[in-house]
Structure formats: C-alpha cells, structure tokens
Amino acid sequence: NLLDVPIYRIIDEVNAESEAKQAEAYVTCHVDPATTRPRQPEETLWVDRYRPKRFTDLLGDERVHRETMAWVKEWDYCVFGTNKRRKRARDEMEGETYTDELQRPRERILLLSGPPGLGKTTLAHVVARQAGYDVMEINASDARTGQVIDDRVRPALESGSAVGSKRPVLVIIDEIDGATGAGDNVQRYHRHTFLCVLTGGLIGRKKEQGGARPLRRPIICICNDLYAASLAKLRPQARIIRFHKPADVHLVKRLRDICEREGLRPDTRALSTLVGVAQGDMRGCLNTLQFIKAKNQDLSETVVRAATTGMKEADIAFTAVLNNLFTPMSKRRVKELGLREDEETRYVSRLSREVEATGALDKVYNGCFEHYITLRLQDANLERHQKAAEWLCAYDIMSGTMKSEREYAVLPYLPYMAVPFFPLFNERGAPKVERPKADWEHFVKTKQNEEIYKSLNREGRAPEYRHLLSNGILQLEFAPLINRIISPPLRPVNSQVIRPEEKKLLARLVDVMVALDLRFVQEKSEDGNLVYRLDPPIDVFVTYDGKRASDINVSRYAVRHLVASEIDEKAIHRQAEASEATKRHTFTQPYADDDAAGGRLIAGVANKRIRVAPVAKPGPVDFFGRPIVVSATKSRKAAAAPVVKKFKVTYKFHEGNSSAVRKPVKVASLL
C-alpha cells in the first residue's frame, strides 16, 4: 500500500491523542482561573520587529552587500555633488574607459534577483538609508499599469525627492517579474520603466527646453525569476546581482538570538530542522517561530515538523525532484530535516508535495519516462518496468480526462502517480537524472518533416501529380515511392555514350524531378568532400539511423551530377520556350483569339457561324461631312517629295555627376 504510516501506528496515535485531550481537560478543570493570566496578543510580526536597520545587521553574503552599496555610492557626484567613492587599485588595473559627464555608473538600474525570503528588499532599504536617500517603494505585482509610472515614479524622478521630504529619493520596484498577467498593461508598465531608465522621467514634455532630461536618481529593481520574459529588455540595461542561500550556521545563530529575546527556549536541533525545511527563507522561519510561541509550545523537532507541514515549498527545479524520485535521501539531507529512521521511510507525502510544488507535472513524468528505461537493474522479467509503465498510463488517462472533460477533481491525485518510481528504482549512487529532451527533439523533428511535406506539396505544379500530393496520400503512399522512383539503376557514364534504354530512363527521371520541383544541390560535407543533397530532403523518410532500405539503390556522386546537369538543361529549355511563347502571343496577332471568340459567341442556334463583312474605314470629310477628294497634282507632288535622309546617331560618355533637373528627351527631337 501507499500509506505513510502502518494502520496499527495510526490507531496508537489516535489513542494517544485522545488520552492527551482527556489529560488537558482534567488540568483545565482543576486549575484556579485566578492564577492564570490571559496571553497578550502580538501587535507586530517578528519579521518587522527584527528587520535589519543598519548595514552591519544584514545577514548573508557580505560581498553582495558591499557590491550593492558600491553601486549606490557611484551616484554620489550626480545626486549630492561630491564624490565620496575612493578609487581602487583594481579599477585602475582594469582600465575603465567609460566616462559620463554626470559621473553615473554605466548601468542606470540595479537588478537584485534570487529566491524569496533571502533579504533582497531589506538590503535595498538598508543601503538606501545608509547612503542618505529616502525610499519610494512600488510593488509591481499590485501596480501593473503604466499609469503608475507616470503618476508616482516620474514625478519623483523629475523633482529628485519624494513628497514632503528634503532628501533625494531612491526608487525601489519590488517583484518586477510578478507583473505577468495584465496583457498590454504589463507591456506598457515595463516600457515606461525602460524609458524612465533611459531618459530620467521626462519624455518629450519639454522639447522646447532641450528634450528629455537625463536620469539623476538611482533605481533598484527586485525579482525572483531573473530570466522572466517580461525582463528581456531591462536586463541589458541593468547591473545584475544574484542572491544565494546563506549558510545554515549563520541562520541558526540569528534564530537562537531571537528565541532568547522572545523567551522561547532554543533548541539547536529543532532550529537546524527549521532552516533545512525552509530552504534558507528567513521570513518563513520567523513566522513559524512566532506561530509556535503564540501556541505556548516548547521548541522541539516534533513541534517544528508539525508547524512546517503546510509551509510553502521553495522554487524547486523539476530536475531535483527527478533525482529525489530515483535516489534515496542523503544522510546530510536527513540530518537537515531532522528525520528519524522511521520517518525517513515515509516518502509518499514528501515526494508528492515536491512533485506538486514544481508546477510542471508533464515535465516530471516525461523525465521519468525517459530515465527509467536507461537504468540497469537485475530484473529478468521486467516486472518493475511493467509497473512503471502502468503508472505512466494511469497518469496519462487521468490527465487526459481532466483536460478533455474538465474534471479538475482528479488534479490532487496526479502527483501521487510519480511516487511509485521511488520504491521501484531508487538506488544509492545512481547517475543523476538529466534534463528530459526527447520530447523536444521529437517535436522539432515532427515540425521539420511537416515542413518538408508542405514544401513538396507547394512546389509540385504538374497537374498529373496533384492528386497524389494531398495530405495522407503524400505521407503514406507517394513519398516512400518517390525515393525509389528517383533512384533508378544508372551507370556513372557520360551522357553522350549512354545506352538508349538508360537514356530513356534518365529522361523519364528528369521529367519526374522537374515536375515535382526536386533538385540535387551541391554542398560540402563535414569532412570537406563534395556531395549532392536532395532538396527537399524527402530521403529522410526512408533513412533510419543512417541506414537505407535495401530495395533503394545507392545514388553515387557521378550519377547525381549527371542528373543535376540534365535538370538544369531541362529548366533552361522550358524557360526559353515559355519566353518565346510569350513574345509570339504579344507581338503577332494579339487580337486573333478575341476575334475567333467573338465569332463563336455570335453563333446561332443551329451552330452556324455568321460571317460578318469587314467594315471599310471612312475617308476624310470636310466641315459639312462631304468627302475630301485629293487632286492628282498634289498627289504627284507628294510622290515626288525628296526622301528624308537618315542620320547616324553617336553617343559620348562624360564622367562626373550633376545635380541638375533631369527630363527624358527623345533623340528624334534633337535631329
């Protein structure tokens, strides 16, 4: 079965819980109410109470803290008019060549990225106050419109300070990657932020005063996912600082000090368990400790594990989940979680929560499908592989039902389908699970094959083959036979000495390839040799792992060269014939077909063509409509007129350029 705990242990726990409730009820009835004092509710959260106020109170990587402070101090000359930053020998050795008239840093924006709860926002506030700024904070997850930038950020950047403050302002935009669900508003929000970074807030408002102002105040953006699509345009303009999980020793020490101040007896093992479960999230650790203190419970491993049961999982990669499904937990991880030996065997709830926390169930199951068949197991009957395939089929059926029939009631059961892979295939020291890529490779290959079919269907213009190029017939019947048709048994000889039967075969091959628009394209292979490649490459449908079908003749280079030459010659002849037919139709009797068509249209009921007598062209007439008779004298004079002498025209080219107005003029007008 897949129960975390055997049934007899569950019965014992129920009985123990019942006895504990009876004992608590007995104590409550026999305790004097006057001796008990009501518990005062907490007015503030421990997260706010113990938030670092000074730079020395920060917890984590000191290098990250110093780098953030150094970037803010680079704005001192632009903001305060004084340069308090001392030049370091390393800067001189690196030879910095970037210069700015306001002595601002090269990157106008600072981007802090890392998992939640590591202190990114706290660091930005502490550094801003330490450097002498007032903070204006905007949460991009709540304010997702570009109007917020225009109403709040832009006025602060233009004035240089916040409303009611004399100190300069530093803008903090928190969770800038969280604005991903508002469509055009999100794009407008990030576009306005990007323009503020480049122009400092004033964009085209005071063109008469010189256009946009430069940015004179620092901006710090905070995100969890550095590679979110919404940050694609912002990353090149920002200096990126990545946060990492601090050491567990420092977190346990800080939590121990807080427990002593709050009157909570600290337990190092319980605190280590809490830090391991929270994955370094200091905010989650403080909230859990405050919850335990509010219930008047002693700090112990059991209490911590019960309090962190519903804690939100950190952003765990699905590759890590795959490794957990196929590899037992390490001793170090068991020690971090503070699990006992019997609790370590309760893997169902732990693994199901991890699978669900990834948010990518399809990727997890694709990874399981790819990895479990590569394992070398001592299983002659393949029973374990058969059970794994059954669980994958069950997931496929349930997920398909959920998506097709919208039965989302089965969604909570889907993560449990991956849990059986742990008892079936877990092995200590097994190779790590690689990122699944077979699904993507098959998708790309399918798209490439579809494009080949589309190209063949689009380019095949011959009417006698159009009925074979439709979907279904082309893929299943015609395409496999084309490779056999274009691979006839030809000898690599000169076309002048080829046999008559081979010549007919070659002519037929050329006609088929020209009709289907197939070509042999010459190119160089990886080893530098010249080869002829078929375009479109329909031969990929009969080639598997570099092996061809036995009934398809191997096409040699000389044969393909001969066929390619004949195809080029055939194409040239067809182009010449088409051009000659076009000229003949254009310049010789362009209206002959129209007259014939007109005659057919006038045909009577008895299909007898009516012959229409040609109409004579009327001669010249005078003003009153009388025909003009040309006298014989004038006709003789016109006949005796001298013949116009033809002149020979020559051209002379003058090198140079002229900007004069040009007008086309015929040569006849100059003679």
Complete DSSP assignment for 21-68? HHHHHHHHHHS-GGG--PPPPPSS-HHHHT---SGGG--S-HHHHHHH
The better pLDDT of the pair 38, 438 is held by 438
The candidate with the shortest Cα–Cα distance to 59, out of 223, 246, 249, 259, is 246
Q: Domain segments of the chain: what residues? A: 59-86+98-242, 248-438, 440-572
Which DSSP string do the residues of 386-405 spell out, in sequence order?
HHHHHHHHHHHHHHHHHHHH
pLDDT over 50 (residue 513): yes
Ranked by mean pLDDT, the top range of 38-47, 260-269, 390-399 is 390-399
pLDDT tens string 333-343? 666 555 666 66
Is 4 within 8 Å of 349 (Cβ atoms)? yes
What pLDDT, in 10s, does the model give residues 451-468? Answer: 877 777 777 667 777 777
Residues in the chain: 671
Give me the mean pLDDT over the 492-509 stretch. Answer: 77
Amino acid at 344: E
Q: Give the tokens for residue 193.
A: 């932020």
519-524 and 530-535 as β-strands: parallel, antiparallel, unpaired? antiparallel
Nearest Cα neighbor of 518 from 567, 473, 478 is 567
Distances (CA, A) of 163 to 69, 152, 500: 25, 10, 96
Question: How is residue 470 written in tokens?
Answer: 């439709």
Confidence band, pLDDT 50/70/90 cuts, at residue 395: very high
C-beta pairs of 344-351 under 8 Å, 24+ apart in sequence: 346/4, 346/5, 347/419, 347/422, 347/423, 348/2, 348/3, 348/4, 348/416, 348/419, 349/4, 351/321, 351/324, 351/325, 351/418, 351/419, 351/422
Give the pLDDT score at 584: 67
* The Cα angle at residue 261 between residues 256 and 265, in degrees rounded to 5: 55
Write down the pLDDT at residue 334. 66
* CA atoms within a 13 Å half-sphere pointing along the CA-CB vector of 480: 9
With a cut of 70, say whether residue 316 has pLDDT above it: no
Which pLDDT score is estimated for 600? 45
Report the alpha-carbon distance of residue 502 to residue 347 in Å, rounded. 72
pLDDT value of residue 632: 57
The CA distance from 248 to 251, in Å, is: 5
What does the pLDDT average to over 577-592? 62
Give the Cα separation of 392 and 570 in Å (integer). 56
Which of 97-101, 293-297, 475-479 is predicted with the least confidence, judged by mean pLDDT? 97-101
Cα angle, residue 103 at apex, residues 99 and 105 outer, rounded to 5°: 80
Of the candidates 157, 141, 140, the one whose C-alpha atom is nearest the C-alpha of residue 195 is 157
Residue 323 burial (CB count, 10 A): 16
Between 349 and 145, the more confident residue is 349
Mean pLDDT to the nearest integer, 618-630 = 68
- 186-204 mean pLDDT: 53
Residue 547: phi and psi, rounded to 5, are -110, 135
Strand partners for 135? 170
What pLDDT score was predicted for residue 169?
86
Residue 624 or residue 252, greater confidence? 252
Phi, psi of 329 (to 5 degrees): -65, 140
> Which residue in 79, 177, 204 sits closest to 134, CA to CA?
79
CA–CA dist 259, 277 (Å, integer): 18
Distance CA 421, CA 3 (A): 15
Q: Quick check: 423 and 384 in contact, CB under 8 A?
A: no
Whole-number Å distance between alpha carbons of 601 and 594: 10
pLDDT confidence of 611, banded at 50, 70, 90?
Answer: very low
Q: What is the mean pLDDT of the chain?
A: 74
CA distance 143 to 138: 7
- Say whether pLDDT at 250 is over 60: yes
Residue 237 parent element (H or E): none
Question: Per-residue DSSP letters for 487-530?
Answer: -----S--TTS--HHHHHHHHHHHHHHHHTT-EEEEEE-TTS-E
Bridge partners of residue 170, in order along the sequence: 135
pLDDT band of residue 612 (cuts 50, 70, 90) is very low
Round to whole Å and give the CA distance between 202 and 180.
26
Residues 107 and 72: their CA atoms lie apart, in Å, by 11
Concatenate the DSSP letters of all residues of 523-557 into one string. EE-TTS-EEEEEES-GGGGGEETTEE-TTSPPPPH
The stretch 238-247 carries a mean pLDDT of 86
CATH fold, domain 59-86+98-242, is Rossmann fold (3.40.50)
Could you tell me how far CA 38 lies from the centroid of its own chain? 57
The pLDDT value given to residue 601: 39
Per-residue model confidence (pLDDT) at position 31: 46
d(CA 292, CA 266): 12
What is the predicted pLDDT for the residue at 168?
Answer: 87
Structure tokens belonging to residue 67: 């780098």
Of the ranges 400-409, 484-493, 638-647, the best mean pLDDT one: 400-409
Coil vs helix vs strand at 239: strand
Q: Average of pLDDT values for 40-56?
A: 79
What is the CB neighbour count within 10 angstroms for residue 340?
A: 12
Tell me the mean pLDDT in the region 142-164: 64
Q: What is the DSSP string of 441-504?
A: HHHHHHHHHHHHHHHHHHH---GGGGGGSSTTHIIIIIHHHHHHHT-----S--TTS--HHHHH
If DSSP codes are grouped into helix, strand and coil, which group holds residue 278? Answer: helix
**Residue 390 reports pLDDT greater than 90:** yes
Tokens of 127: 């550094």
